[in-house]
Amino acid sequence: MLSSLFIKMGYFLIITVILSVLILVYAFIKKKIESTALLASGFIGMVIFISLGDLWYWIYIVLAFFIVGNLVSKYKLGEKQRNGVGQEIRTYENVFGNGGAAVIYCLPYYISHDPIFLYGFLGAMATATADTFATEIGQIYDKQPRLITNPFKKVKVGTSGAVSAPGTVASLAGAFLLSLIPVFFAHHILFLYVGSIAGFIGCIIDSLLGAVVERRYMDKHMVNFCATFMGGLTAVGLAFLLT
């Protein structure tokens, strides 16, 4: 039965599975992720893959986030490390913080096949991408970011809740780029609009949570999870209003 499923869905599915495994193994060998992150990524990928059913190819949204996230993290890495904000090896907490909310939106899609949950999935991943772009680019091009809850207060690079003009522009670019992917799959431009807006709003929520509750009530991973969930919820709301 399993073999007939692979034959039915074609070689593209097999190639996707192999590509996903190779990317994770490569990241582990290059010490970009810990063994715990490797296992967590495999688990989340499998759950998303199964939950999406016939739309399994939406897993490329997750793969794109993983790839571009690593690329933007490597951008001017030496300068970031000199400033004390360089890339750290990813753990399972990073994986669940960035990808856990996406799973939450995939599960009800598996049950109901209501496409509105696809928007939630996209919004969550677009938020994770926007936040990564904002952090990695903002740390380079603005040495005096400001606290989102007090725009007149300049703070140190890497401070929770810090925002900058370059980082803000980068966040919108990240959400936009990721949201292009489902347009190729579904041939529906609404995914681009909803994903871009929801990802940008989710990134702002991440900064607000970072300034208000991070290190007091939540760690950064829980903040990321809450922000990505809210980004997904924003996408669901927008899709509901626009469809």
Where exactly are the structural domains of the chain?
A: 68-84+91-242
Q: What's residue 137's pLDDT?
A: 87
Q: What's residue 163's pLDDT?
A: 86
Low-confidence ranges of the chain (pLDDT < 70): 1-10, 77-87, 142
Q: What's residue 1's pLDDT?
A: 45
Integer Cα distance of 95 and 15 in angstroms: 23
Q: With contact defined as beta carbons under 8 Å apart, do 221 and 97 qualify?
A: yes
Residue 140: partners with Cβ closer than 8 Å, 6 or more residues away? 75, 76, 79, 80, 166
Q: What's residue 87's pLDDT?
A: 66
Q: With contact defined as beta carbons under 8 Å apart, do 87 and 80 qualify?
A: yes
* 187 conformational bin, left if phi > 0, alpha if psi -120 to 50, beta if neither: left
DSSP H helices, the chain, are 2-9, 11-29, 35-52, 59-74, 77-82, 92-112, 116-141, 165-186, 190-212, 220-242
Please tell me the pTM assigned to this model.
Answer: 0.89
Q: With contact defined as beta carbons under 8 Å apart, do 64 and 181 qualify?
A: yes
DSSP assignment of 123-161 equals: HHHHHHHHHHHHHHHHHHH-SS-EETTEEEEE--TT-TT
Integer Cα distance of 241 and 226 in angstroms: 23
Cα 102 to its chain centre, rounded Å, is: 8
Q: What's residue 191's pLDDT?
A: 94
